[in-house]
Amino acid sequence: MLSTYLGQLVSAVREEETLYECRHCGVSIEDDVTTCPTCGSTEVAQYELE
Ligand SMILES: [Zn+2]
């Protein structure tokens, strides 16, 4: 039970307000992907929201 609680806590902390978007086609991208799955571009824009 303790490990479950810690897992939820860590996932909450990791939830950062960061958006990733392909500069080439503008599609939203998962935060752990550096290559656009749609067009294959590696030009991924990163937006950090405050
Ligand atoms: Zn793209």
Q: Distance between CA 13 and CA 18 in Å, rounded? A: 13
- How far, in Å, is the centroid of ligand 1 from the Cα of 12? 29
Q: What is the pTM of this model?
A: 0.59
Q: Distance between CA 28 and CA 4 in Å, rounded? A: 30
- How far, in Å, is the centroid of ligand 1 from the Cα of 47? 16
Q: Tell me the per-residue pLDDT of 8-47, one tens digit each, with 9 for 90 and over.
A: 666 655 666 888 999 999 999 988 888 999 999 999 999 8
- How far, in Å, is the centroid of ligand 1 from the Cα of 21? 8
- How far, in Å, is the centroid of ligand 1 from the Cα of 2? 41
